[in-house]
Structure 1
Amino acid sequence: MCEEKKITCADAESENDVAKAVETAADDILLAGAADMFTAFLRRKFPACRETSDCLCAFNLADSLIICGSTQSKPIDCGIATSYMPTEVYDEKTSADGWTARLVKDYNDSHAMIIAVRDRHRTGKHIAVYLRETMARISHALVGCHRPAELVIEGGATAFAILNRLGWNSFTITEEIAPGVIRMQADNGTHVTMKPGSYPWGNLFRQ
């Protein structure tokens, strides 16, 4: 009589759920999953390698440029004012040049700025391409007037467009702040942190 075989799909909503599923799995169970599952598996097999601290790196918020390229981004409460893309720019009814000029003036004075998209009523490939290219042009203008100590970019496509526009292509990874959230240092000294648009900010800016 053949032994019954089955596949179990865990309905995980958090890292703790993933860790519990891995911790309770029998040794003859083949585990399959993404990075969170693999991390939980390593922690189970090699408990001596567990992190001893959950402290995050100290961002220099007084000299930072934070670009939120995702329309799903949540507000960031870190003491820096957020400049939202005007609706007429989002709708492509007005050039972004005027807004860019205002941002450059404000950023040249403050050296700390968050840029984000608030409108969400347009969808499709065209608006996605337009938003990331617009953010890339704005970022290039801002970095041109002052290169920040910290450049934080939300959204993978946005990060690619911005770094490509800046011509920054050589980095040294310094920290993995959270799964999928990498901080690295460009050759010019600026620290660049990239976060997927679908991930929450969490305690990224905790001091």
Structure 2
Amino acid sequence: MIAVISDDFTGAAEIGGIGIRNGFSVTIDTSVNSNYDCEVLVIATNTRSLDKTEAQKQIQQVTKELLALKPDFIYKKTDSLLRGKVGDELTAQLEISAKKKVLLVPANPLLKRTVVNGIYYINEIPLMESNFFNNDFAKGTTSSVLDMIGKDYKEQSFSVSLGQELPNKGFIIGNTPTNEDLMGWANLLDETMLPAGGAGFFDAILKKIKSEQKKELSSLVFGKKALYLCGSNYQPSRAVVKRAKENGASVSYMPSTIFNNIDYENVIQKWANEIVKIIQKKDKVVIAIDELECKDVENVSNKISYIFGVLIKKILEKVTLEELLIEGGATAYSIIEHLGYKKFYPEQELSQGVIRMEIEQTTKMHLTLKPGSYQWTDSVWKF
């Protein structure tokens, strides 16, 4: 069995999709248990939303529990753009795993995300010049992967290209200008290394392993009643929602003044009731964020995720859905926590990172997840 630790839920789903694409049976869980009947086990954490101490503590605990299962190896799924506490988490996992070094390959050339001579590029533009994530990165950050890994780990990190001599310890960050380079890095893995990085690197590792039995994927048949939740700050996704509304889709935006209420539970309840009526009448609804009055509100992102978790729980108490589609890892994790969902079985990879799954705790509804920075597949919007 291959084990994977992901720092967010949509990343775990993306890894699951790559697993079934390559013919492996996959289980996604939010905690480590003792009995699994799968070839790839993905543990979905939410460490990207935690502080350093809590993130490291959780990574160490999950790593210990996975090692007890004696997996072939443990892969650390990181954000492809190295957001989050990548250096902190890799250090914690390295200590528990008794490995000498990390081979970190975050790039995904198929998505135009490359690392060349230590510089991260999006569509051939240095990351910090691309405005790809607007204000998600701290001011003054550069496009150098040695800076992106964190100042505490810069001295032990090395930008290396294929063919160069590898350091004996520390973080080896692989330059990856082409998709072929991913397989080159996969071929260099050995027992002294902790493999880590994006979905593209994991895909290359699985292709190297070559599963002998390919799983037949079922054809895509969506259920009738569906709720799309577009909870990310990614502007292209917001634009897609606006176009959907212009084309007649039922779109319900988070009330702009929700944070102006001392007790916004009543606001959430009222909003949930409105959404339930839309589903009962139209079958499908899109929930999204437009403009919010939150200038002086602290931890806005965490509070938004919490609100969505409460909202979806209230909706499902009054109406039965067949499809729940969620954009954004923190949002998705909050929702499954509120609903008590823990174990998932990827069924279909609709496109890169867009994964439809069965939920162990309910047979009535499928869950489809997408990272905030990816695009929904056309088949979803046509549905």
Same fold (TM over 0.5): yes
Deviation of 1:21 (Å):
3.0
Is the 8 Å Cα contact of residues 66 and 151 (structure 1) preserved in structure 2?
yes
Which residue identity lines up with residue 92 of structure 1 in the other structure?
A: N
Counterpart for residue 137 of structure 1: 310
Counterpart for residue 231 of structure 2: 69
Identity rate, percent: 25
Match of 1:191 among 349, 355, 366: 366
Counterpart for residue 92 of structure 1: 260
Shift in alpha-carbon separation, 1:82–1:164, aligned structure 2, 3 A: same
User: Alignment RMSD, CA only?
Assistant: 3.9
Which residue identity lines up with residue 319 of structure 2 in the other structure?
A: H
Is the 8 Å Cα contact of residues 226 and 283 (structure 2) preserved in structure 1?
yes
Deviation of 1:152 (Å):
0.9
CA distance in 2, matches of 1:42, 1:65: 33
Counterpart for residue 332 of structure 2: 159
Structure 1 unaligned blocks of 5 or more: none
CA distance in 2, matches of 1:44, 1:153: 31
TM-score normalized with structure 1 length = 0.70
CA distance in 1, matches of 2:186, 2:276: 58
Per-residue Cα deviation, 1:79-103 (whole angstroms, up to 9, x for no partner): 63221112112x4346334333322
Shift in alpha-carbon separation, 1:92–1:49, aligned structure 2, 3 A: farther
Is the 8 Å Cα contact of residues 71 and 120 (structure 1) preserved in structure 2?
no
CA distance in 1, matches of 2:164, 2:331: 48
TM-score normalized with structure 2 length = 0.42
SS of corresponding position for 2:331: helix
Shift in alpha-carbon separation, 1:44–1:4, aligned structure 2, 3 A: closer
Shift in alpha-carbon separation, 1:198–1:98, aligned structure 2, 3 A: same
SS of corresponding position for 2:363: coil
CA distance in 1, matches of 2:186, 2:340: 48
> In the TM superposition, what are the counterparts of 1:1-207 in structure 2 within 5 Å?
5=165, 9-10=174-175, 12=177, 17=178, 19-22=179-182, 25=184, 33-40=197-204, 42-43=206-207, 57-60=220-223, 62-72=224-234, 74=237, 75-76=240-241, 77=244, 80-89=249-258, 91-93=259-261, 95-119=267-291, 122=294, 126-186=299-359, 187-203=362-378, 205=380
Q: Which has the higher strand share?
A: 2
CA distance in 2, matches of 1:65, 1:121: 25
Aligned length: 196
- State the structure with bigger RCO (CA 8 A, min sep 6), 1 or 2: 1
Shift in alpha-carbon separation, 1:175–1:88, aligned structure 2, 3 A: same
Which residue identity lines up with residue 135 of structure 1 in the other structure?
A: F
SS of corresponding position for 1:87: coil
